[in-house]
Amino acid sequence: MSRDFFNTLAEEVDALLGAGCAAACTNHRLPQRGRVLREMARQVPALGTLADTIDRVCQPSSRDSSRALLDLVLVVRQTRVGMGTEALKGEVVPLPPSGPWVNNLPANELYRMVEAVRADPCNADLVEPLVPHDLRLFPLVTLSPDQLGQASAQIALLDRWGDEGNRAALRLLPALGRAVLPELERDFDFSKRPGAGRRLAAMGLIDPEAAVQFCSNRLPQQPGMLGVLGKVGGPAVEVFVRVLAQPHGNYANWNLETIAITLLNQVPETAVQVLRSSLQSPDPAQRKEAIDLLESLGKPAATAVPDLIEALNDRVPLVRQAAAQALGQIGRSSSIVSPHLIACLRDANHEVQRAAAAALPQLGVPGAKIVPLLIEVLDHPDEQVRLAIIDALARSAFRNKTAQAALLQAKEREVSAGVRTRIDQALKRCKS
Amino acid sequence: MPAMKQPTTARDKKALAQREGLALLEKLLLDLATTGQWHLTDRLDRLERQSLQLGDSYLPNARTTLRRLIQVGRRKNLGLEERNSQAAELIGRLWAMVQIGGRYLDGTLSGEEATEADAVLEEALGKNWRLDELRERGYFRQNLHLLELAHERFEDEVTDLRIEVSFLLDLAGGAVFRAVNYRPRKALDRTAELPSYTQPLFLPEAAVYPGFLTRRIRWPLGTEERLPTNPDALRLAHSLSQPDFARVLADFRKQIKNPLAPREAVVLLRCQLIGTLGDRVVLVDAGNNRLETADRHAGYSHVGNLRRAGGELREQPALLARLFLRPRDNALVAQPLALLSPTKHLRLGI
C-alpha cells in the first residue's frame, strides 16, 4: 500500500511542479496526503518531515511556498527511495542451455566496427563474420529495430545508392529476420526501382516461401516485378526459380529477358540452370523464350547445348526454330551440334530448315566428318537453305578438296543465278 | 554596514563567482516553481538564456543540468507523466546543488553531508579534481591489481562529449572502479581513446576519487602495466562477487538518498540462479533475494544478451550489473554488463 501511495504522491508532486506554486497551494488532495502521512509518521517518524513539507506548501499565506514546493520534490524522492520494490514472487525458471559464446574481442575494436557499420551499412562485411559468434552483436544486428536496422533498411529501400543499397539489402535486412517482412511488404511498388527489387531479394533471403507467395499474388497486377526481382541477382534467383516452377498463365508480360541477362551477369550458372529448367515447361511460349534467352547469353550458356539439341525435336515448330538459331550462337565449340542441325534440314517445317541452315555457317569450319553430310544436302529444294549450306562448306573448301569439288558440281546443276554467284564467290576465296 | 571584502586570491574569486551563480540558480528555480509551465516554448527560451549567464560561475554541472531540463521540455515524443518525472528529477537535483553547494561554500555542512562533501563536490560545484589535490587529500592508493569486466561508451548530446567508461574490479578488495574518459565529439581525432583491457592490469599508484559505490579511478598516463592473461585472475574475480543482494541494495539505497549522488552503481553480484519469471529475467542469490534485470535504454538489449549467456554459464555465475531506479515503478533493477564464471568472462554490453 505504502509503495503505491508514494508512487502516486511523487506523480502528483511532479505534476504540481509543472503547474506552479499557486496550483499546489489550492490542490485539495495534497492536504489529504499530508494527513495520511501524519498518521503514518506515528509508526515511522521519518515521514514527519514529508508531512511538514506538505503543510508548508499548502499554506496559502506562506511567502516561501515555492521554496517549499522545491523542498517537497526533493523530500518525496528521497523518501520514495526507501520504499522498496515489488516482491518478485513465483518460481524462477532456469535459463535454457545455450552457447558456447565468445566475445573476447576488445570492446574498442568492436566499437570501431560497429561505428563503421552505423556510418555506412555497406561495411557490414566487417561485422558479418562475427555475428554468429560474438554475443554482443546479436542485439545490434538481429534484435535492434533502430540504429543499424533502420539505417540499412533506409539505404536498402531507397531508390538509389546502387551496389551499396543492394549489399545493405542482401546482407543486413536478412539479418534482421522475419520482423522486417511487414516493412518490406508495405507500400510495395515494383515501379520504384531498384528499391522494389531489393525488397524482394531481402524477402527471398528471409523467407523464400513468403517471397514467392508475395510475388505470385501480385504478378497479375504488377507483372514487371519479376523483372525487378531479376535486377538483384544472386539471392533473388532462388525466388525466381520457385516462381518459374509455378503455372505461368498470368505472367505473359514478364520481362524474362531482362531477368535472365541480369541474372547471368551476377550468377551465370544459376541463370542458365533456371532457363534449362524452363525448357521443360509445358508452355511452348515459355520454352521458346527460354531458348531465345539462352541464345542471347551466348558462351556461358554452353552447358545448355544438350537441352537445345533435344529441343530440335520439340513438337512446336517455333521452338525447334529457336533452338536451331540458338545452337548457331552457343554451339560453336561443340562438335556434336552440326549433325543435329543438318538433320533438321529435313524438318517438315521450312522455317526450321532455314534456321538450321543459317546456324550451320556460324558453327565455324566444318570438320572432315561433317563435310560429307553437308554435301549430301546441297541439293536441298529451298534456295535459302542451299545458300547457307554453301556458306558452311565454303569455310572448309580452301583446304578440303572434296568440298571444292562438291561446290563445282553444285554450280553446274544450280538453276538459281544467285546461288551460282555465291558458289563463285566461295571458290574465288579458295583460290586466293 | 561594512563594505564587503574584495576577494584577492583566485580561489576567493572563484568562490565568489560560484556564490553568485548559485544565487542566480536559486532565483531561477524559485521563479520556475512559482509560475510552473516551464515546458512552454517561451519559458524554455528564457531558461536557455539564463543558462548562458551561469557560464562564468564555475558551475558547469548546474549549467549542464539546466540544459538537460530544457532538452526534456523540447522533446516532442515524451508523455506528460514521463516529462514531469524527468523534469522533477532534474529540478530536484538543481535545488540540491543550490542548498548543498551554498552550505559548502559557507562552511556550514554538518553530519553526513560533511562526510560526503568530497564525494558530491564534483556534482554540486563542478569540481575538477587534479591528481595532486587527490594525493594531498589521501585518495591515492598503491599497487592495484585490476581486471576490466566491462567497457562502454556513450555520447552526450547536451555536453557534446563522448564518454568512455571502463569498469575495473579491484582484485584485492573486490570494489568496482570506473575509469572515465571524456572526449569532445568535435575533437575525437585529436583525443586519445580509453583503452579496453583484456588482460589484468597493474597500477603502481592510482587516485581513487571520493564517491559512493562505484568510485572513479584515475592513474598517471602510461603508468599502467598489462599483465599476462592469467586464469587465476578470473577465478579470483568470481570469488570476489557479492553473495548477498540485500546488503548491496541497502548500500545503493543509501547512496541514492543523497540527492547529488550518482543515480546508479555498478556492482558484481554472485547469483545462485539466473532465470525467468514470466517475461522477466531475474537474478536470485543464495538467500533467495531476487532482483529484476532491465535495459537502461531502448535499442540495445543487455537483458537479451544475458538470456543467451546465462544459458551457458549456469553454475553460480557472477554478474556485473548497473543498479538503477526504474522511474516507472520506482523499482530497483539491474542492467547486466558482464557475466563471469571462474573460467569464463562474457561481456554483455557494447
What element of type H or E holds A395? helix A383-397
pLDDT computed for residue A146 by the predictor: 46
**Cα dihedral across residues B188, B194, B196, B197: positive or negative:** positive
Within 13 Å of residue B71, how many CA atoms lie on the same side as its CB? 12
Query: Which pLDDT tens digit goes with each residue over B107-120?
Result: 887 777 777 777 77
Residue B234: how many other CB atoms lie within 10 Å = 21
- Taking the C-alpha atoms of residue A418 and residue A415, their distance in angstroms, rounded to an integer, is 9
Nearest to B33 among A3, A21, A106 (CB): A21
Among chain B residues, the shortest Cα distance to A138 is held by: B305
Q: B300 to chain A: which residues are within 8 Å by CB?
A: 139-140, 144, 147
pLDDT computed for residue A142 by the predictor: 43
Does residue B82 have a pLDDT over 80? yes
Does residue A147 have a pLDDT over 60? no
Nearest to A7 among B83, B257, B329 (CB): B329
Nearest to A92 among B259, B284, B325 (CB): B284
Query: Which pLDDT tens digit goes with each residue over A379-411?
Result: 888 888 888 888 888 887 777 788 888 888 888
- Taking the C-alpha atoms of residue B192 and residue B181, their distance in angstroms, rounded to an integer, is 9
Does residue A252 have a pLDDT over 50? no
B259 touches chain A (CB under 8 A): yes
Residue of B118, B67, B113, B115 whose CA lies nearest to B94? B67
3-class secondary structure for chain B? CCCCCCCCCHHHHHHHHHHHHHHHHHHHHHHHHHHCCCCCHHHHHHHHHHHHHHHHCCCHHHHHHHHHHHHHHHCCCCCHHHHHHHHHHHHHHHHHHHHHHHHHHHCCCCHHHHHCHHHHHHHHHCCCCCHHHHHHCCCEEEEEEEEEEEEEEEEECCCCEEEEEEEEEECCCCCEEEEEEEEEHHHHHHCCCCCCCCCCEEEEEEEECCCCCCEEEECCCCCCEECCCCHHHHHHHHHCCECCHHHHHHHHHHHHHCCCCCCEEEEEEECCEEEEECCEEEEECCCCCEEEECCCCCCCCHHHHHHHHHCCCCCCCEEEEEEEEECCCCEEEEEEEEEECCCCEEECCC
pLDDT computed for residue A112 by the predictor: 73
Rounded to 5°, the CA angle A308-A310-A315 comes to 105
| A225 or B217, greater pLDDT | B217
SS3 A134: strand
CB-based contact B330 A147, cutoff 8 Å: no
Residue of A6, A65, A1, A66 whose CA lies nearest to A33? A6
SS3 A93: strand
Query: Which pLDDT tens digit goes with each residue over B324-341?
Result: 998 778 889 999 999 999
CB-based contact B350 A67, cutoff 8 Å: no
Scanning B33-52 for CB atoms below 8 A from A yields 33-39
pLDDT computed for residue A184 by the predictor: 76
Does residue B224 have a pLDDT over 70? yes
In sequence order, the 6+-apart residues with CB closer than 8 A to the CB of A120 are A164
Mean pLDDT of chain A: 76
Among chain B residues, the shortest Cα distance to A79 is held by: B257
Burial of A117 (0-12, 13-18, 19+ CB in 10 A): buried
Query: Minimum mean pLDDT among A34-48, A157-171, B259-273: which range?
Result: A157-171
Q: B38 to chain A: which residues are within 8 Å by CB?
A: 18
Q: B307 to chain A: which residues are within 8 Å by CB?
A: 95
Query: Minimum mean pLDDT among A198-202, A260-264, A365-369, B275-279: which range?
Result: A260-264
Residue A410: how many other CB atoms lie within 10 Å = 20
Residue A231: how many other CB atoms lie within 10 Å = 20
| A77 or A431, greater pLDDT | A77
Amino acid at A174: P
| B223 or A190, greater pLDDT | B223
| B231 or A171, greater pLDDT | B231
CB-based contact B84 A18, cutoff 8 Å: yes
pLDDT computed for residue A161 by the predictor: 52
